[in-house]
Amino acid sequence: MNTPRLCHSWTAHAGQSFVIRQAAPADALQILAHTRAVLTEPEWNITELREFRHTVAEEEAWIHSFQDRPHSILLVADFGVAETPLITGILAFNTQNRFRTRHRGRLGISVQAPYRRLGVGEALLQTLLTWAKVEPELERVELSVFAHNGRAISLYRKPGFQEEARLSRAFKLANGAYYDDVMMVRWVK
């Protein structure tokens, strides 16, 4: 089925135009580069760079998988012009397709360092919440964030996410240190 792809225009705080749109398999190379760049900042990510081994073909398949699963969506922030995309942020939202968990899904978000503080994260999040409000069955948007990631927690609180639980020492680093995990939720219906 060919459902129309979501695409909305935004203006960054510094005045640049960008769109938030659903990702397409043709974005695989840029999404790979984006993910590798973000994973060079280990203080914000669960996945370590050494664990991320997707090939372009695997990345294409991953992007494609969002089109096949209900209640899941992959959004990108694109600062490109005409046919030349410039992906600067992504938001992946996934649900487990079981009858008893179909009402909830989990998001992950990242913005390229040079494009932060421009409103890109907020645009990705608002687009997801607007979509989730009308997506059948979906009621609960969840996420997990390192307790020390204050800027991400501020981003989530702005549209009304609330802390629901805290897991102490949920992540163990190679150097033996631990990170706590904060679970946040926003009901959309």
* Chain contacts with ligand COA (rule: CB under 6 A): 38, 44, 109-111, 116-122, 145, 149, 151-152, 154-155, 158
Residue placing its CB nearer to ligand COA in the complex, 109 or 138: 109
Residue placing its CB nearer to ligand COA in the complex, 19 or 64: 19
Cα 81 to Cα 45: distance, rounded to the nearest angstrom: 30
Amino acid letter at 139? E
Tokens of 58: 């695997």
Residue placing its CB nearer to ligand COA in the complex, 46 or 61: 46
Cα 49 to Cα 92: distance, rounded to the nearest angstrom: 18
Residue 67's contacts (CB-CB under 8 Å, 6 or more residues apart) are none
Nearest-approach distance from CB 89 to ligand COA, in angstroms = 6
Nearest-approach distance from CB 80 to ligand COA, in angstroms = 17
- Asked whether the beta carbons of 34 and 90 are under 8 A apart, the reply is yes
Residue placing its CB nearer to ligand COA in the complex, 151 or 189: 151
Closest CA to 126 of 8, 5, 3: 8
Cα 85 to Cα 29: distance, rounded to the nearest angstrom: 11
Residue placing its CB nearer to ligand COA in the complex, 102 or 129: 129
**Cα atoms in the 13 Å half-sphere on the side-chain side of 109:** 26
- Return the CA Rg of the chain: 16
Nearest-approach distance from CB 2 to ligand COA, in angstroms = 31
Nearest-approach distance from CB 143 to ligand COA, in angstroms = 6
Nearest-approach distance from CB 38 to ligand COA, in angstroms = 6
Position closest to ligand COA via CB: 121
